[in-house]
Amino acid sequence: MRLLASVVLLAAGVTAAVAQGYPNKPIRVFIGYTSGGSADAGIRPLAKVLESILGQPLIIETKPGAAGGVAMELAAKVPADGYTLYYFDSGPLTVAPHLGKVGYTQASFTQLGHVCGSGSMLVVHPSTPFKTVNDVIAASKADPAKWSYGTSGVGGPHHLSGEYFKSTTGASLLHVPYKGGGPAMTDLIGGQIPMLFSSLGPVVGAAKSGRVRPIAVTSLKRSGAFPDVPTMDEAGIKGFDSTAWYGLLGPAGLPAEVAARLSHALLKAGEDKVLQEQLNATGCDAEFLTPAQTIEKLRNDAAKWGRVVKDANIKAE
């Protein structure tokens, strides 16, 4: 009994000592996509602010594959010492488990906080008669076989936005999946498809030049990048919220002191006005939340997207 007590006290002492000196070396941060994408655009300015708070460099490592799933599986298996983290997007935790078998659960991780969120945007070709969300709904119901919408791919956040839109409004729209947002936007601009649920970034230039017409964003709040474009909620679909988002996590079992140090640093970073502006400029609106708030958001989103996947019979490609 004394030996067991001694072991427990020793382990507690080691954990406290590690936490007290944390961090004392560079921290690796995974992203689940290649450089140049939205994950990379978000983590770079965030890392600079966190470095000044934590006093150590943050080294960004790309681990692309399976729409963030490869990095998620790796992050579940790294040592629980706080020196390997994952700047993750919500899809692998809230959508992917409903599409097929994955090598992790929400219990595989220590949530450190929500960073920013980005809704999809319903955008149409200027030749269409659509000026409002209600125009789209009414036209699709009047002629169910005529209208379609494009997205960057099956099971992605924009596909889910489209199916969620259909289920909540009764709109009748055929899904046209592409192998990426770029080809989808090209076909929208060219008039090959009448509308698109898109990430916000690619819409900016096309909207300014008049080649596409933004109709509504799917987040509950208007986007900082498109302050004049209404939300679906404002357009009359009350409570509509389809948001993909980014957060920071570590593996399960992080020492409580280390997790607290990281989550507090993340909230402190969120007070930086320049960082907020930099994140907003990427189309991902800054919203720093506590670990508890992040866990609740994960649970709610997972339940919602599970229903959408089931009702729409979405299958992984």
Tell me the backbone φ, ψ of residue 153, rounded to 5 degrees: 155, 165
The model's pLDDT over 22-57, given as tens digits with 9 standing for 90+, comes to 999 999 999 998 888 789 999 999 999 999 999 999
- 33 Cβ neighbours under 8 A, 6+ residues apart: 39, 40, 62, 64, 68
Same fold, 25-118+244-312 and 121-217: yes
Average the pLDDT over each of 18-22, 102-106, 166-170 and give the range with the smallest value: 18-22
The model's pLDDT over 196-206, given as tens digits with 9 standing for 90+, comes to 999 888 898 89
Asked if the model's pLDDT at residue 89 lies above 70, the reply is yes
Residue 33 DSSP symbol? S
pLDDT of residue 199: 87
Q: Rounded to an integer, what distance in angstroms lies between the CA atom of residue 24 and that of residue 181?
A: 41
Question: Residue 9 — very low, low, confident or very high, per pLDDT cuts 50/70/90?
Answer: very low
pLDDT of residue 173: 97
pLDDT of residue 20: 61
Amino acid letter for position 97: P
Share of the chain above pLDDT 90, in %: 78
Q: Outline where 174-248 has alpha helix (H).
A: 181-189, 203-208
Q: Which two tokens stand for residue 91?
A: 């899809």
Mean pLDDT for 113-120 is: 94
Mean pLDDT for 261-274 is: 98
What are the structural domain ranges in the chain?
25-118+244-312, 121-217
Task: Identify the CATH number of the domain defined by range 121-217.
Answer: 3.40.190.10
Asked if the model's pLDDT at residue 225 lies above 90, the reply is no
Q: Rounded to an integer, what distance in angstroms lies between the CA atom of residue 229 and that of residue 214?
A: 7
**CATH match for 25-118+244-312 among 3.40.190.150, 3.30.70.980, 3.10.290.20, 1.10.2020.10:** 3.40.190.150
Q: Which two tokens stand for residue 7?
A: 């072991």
Q: Rounded to an integer, what distance in angstroms lies between the CA atom of residue 229 and that of residue 15?
A: 50
The model's pLDDT over 133-174, given as tens digits with 9 standing for 90+, comes to 999 999 999 999 999 999 988 888 999 999 999 999 999 999
Asked if the model's pLDDT at residue 1 lies above 70, the reply is no
Asked if the model's pLDDT at residue 14 lies above 50, the reply is no
Question: Residue 2 — very low, low, confident or very high, per pLDDT cuts 50/70/90?
Answer: very low
Question: Residue 8 — very low, low, confident or very high, per pLDDT cuts 50/70/90?
Answer: very low
Q: Are 7 and 65 in contact (CB under 8 A)?
A: no
Of 87, 73, 78, 77, the C-alpha closest to 37 is: 87
Q: Which helix (H) or strand (E) holds 27?
A: strand 27-31
pLDDT of residue 7: 38
Cα-based distances in Å from 135 to 128, 131, 138, 184, 232: 10, 7, 5, 22, 13
Asked if the model's pLDDT at residue 307 lies above 60, the reply is yes
pLDDT of residue 56: 98
Q: Which residues pair with 217 in a beta bridge?
A: 121, 231
Cα-based distances in Å from 216 to 9, 181, 191, 205, 284: 57, 18, 19, 16, 16
The model's pLDDT over 226-242, given as tens digits with 9 standing for 90+, comes to 999 999 999 999 999 99
Residue 107 DSSP symbol? G
Other C-beta atoms within 10 Å of 38: how many? Answer: 20
Average the pLDDT over each of 125-134, 154-163, 266-275 and give the range with the smallest value: 154-163
Asked if the model's pLDDT at residue 4 lies above 70, the reply is no
pLDDT of residue 33: 87
Q: Are 118 and 199 in contact (CB under 8 A)?
A: yes
Higher pLDDT, 96 or 7: 96
pLDDT of residue 6: 41
pLDDT of residue 12: 43
